Amino acid sequence: MSAGLKGIRLAVIGGDERELYFIPEMQKLGAHIIGAGFEKADPIPGMRLAAQQEAIREADVLIFPLYGADERGLIKARYGNEPIVLNQEMLQAIPNNRPLFIGWVRPTLKAAADKMGIRIIETAKLDEVAILNSVPSAEGAIQMAMQHTRITLHGSRSYVLGLGRTGWTLAAMLKGLGARVTGVARKTQDLARALTLGLTPLPFSELERAIGQAEVIFNTVPSLVLDKELLEKTSRDAVIIDVASMPGGTDFEYAQMLGIKALLAPGLPGMAAPKTAGMILAQVYPRLILRYLTAPMTSVE
């Protein structure tokens, strides 16, 4: 049974189609929604539209997209008329004790918020969000791979770099499609688990030797792993789908120079399955909101 949000004012600031499914679910639980950045969306009954500053001032809880913010603090607002920015100036306008939920922010912004006593909860990092979200993310990555390759994934030599929350789901789905999946990880327990699941385990230390075999490469590691040296060894026909958050884990410029198709794939859940992704938010957020709204600053992290 979901937690009730009766009378709680939620500012939903920016987002994409996911939020259009998420907002009515919050309303069903009794929340009042103040929407910023939804001027161009079909009206949602009961949602009050406001400017970003007004929404921030008036709400009890601030919800920014799971997508996060870029290096300038720009927030995705697919239906907004104006750009929405979460920067230090905007943080200063946030009244005390307003929890701010967002997928992730740059460490510098998080540090600035900490100094101001603003609690930012980076939801994309929470296991419960990341694991559920890995399903639409993996489907989206596979959809992109299908669009950009000239081979079937069935029978393909597909490499999954990084076996974390997204990597495991992706590897399992590729396996289900009949791909010959190599799981690349640095921890011995992940490599052992990969073997038990019928993947070919490969330590990162051996990737340079083996990468020339890969036809489709999915990267989930949020650090530069596909660097110049590895790209040199990669087949020019391979397709790289980089799922890791911006800026991804690929030297895109160098890949382009070599003629390797490499694509950064942000916002996959919103692209592949906005309804499911919105319902995932609706499943997880009520409990998080109540937990962070009622807890003193120091008791939860």
Q: Residue 26: which of 275, 284, 274, 292 has the closest Cα? A: 284
Measure the CA–CA gap between 266 and 67, rounded to whole angstroms: 8
Comparing CB distances to ligand NAP, the nearer of 35 and 140 is 140
Q: Residue 75: which of 112, 95, 103 has the closest Cα? A: 103
Comparing CB distances to ligand NAP, the nearer of 71 and 82 is 71
User: Least distance from C-beta 293 to ligand NAP, angstroms?
Assistant: 25
Comparing CB distances to ligand NAP, the nearer of 52 and 250 is 250
Comparing CB distances to ligand NAP, the nearer of 126 and 293 is 126
Contact 123, 102 (CB under 8 A): yes
User: Least distance from C-beta 129 to ligand NAP, angstroms?
Assistant: 9
Measure the CA–CA gap between 248 and 241, rounded to whole angstroms: 10
- Which two three-digit tokens encode residue 255? 């890949």
User: Least distance from C-beta 158 to ligand NAP, angstroms?
Assistant: 16
Contact residues toward ligand NAP (CB under 6 A) are: 124, 130, 133, 137, 162-167, 185-187, 204, 220-223, 225, 243-245, 265-269
User: Least distance from C-beta 204 to ligand NAP, angstroms?
Assistant: 5
Q: Residue 300: which of 291, 105, 129, 104 has the closest Cα? A: 291
User: Least distance from C-beta 2 to ligand NAP, angstroms?
Assistant: 23
Whether a cis peptide bond, with omega within 30° of 0, leads into 247 is: yes
Contact 23, 44 (CB under 8 A): yes
Residue nearest to ligand NAP (CB): 164
Comparing CB distances to ligand NAP, the nearer of 73 and 269 is 269
C-alpha angle 84/253/122, rounded to 5°? Answer: 35
User: Least distance from C-beta 127 to ligand NAP, angstroms?
Assistant: 8
Q: At what angle do helices 127-148 and 165-176 cross, to 10 degrees?
A: 40
User: Least distance from C-beta 284 to ligand NAP, angstroms?
Assistant: 14
Comparing CB distances to ligand NAP, the nearer of 109 and 130 is 130
Beta-sheet pairing, 84-85 with 200-203: unpaired
Contact 19, 66 (CB under 8 A): no
Comparing CB distances to ligand NAP, the nearer of 11 and 101 is 101
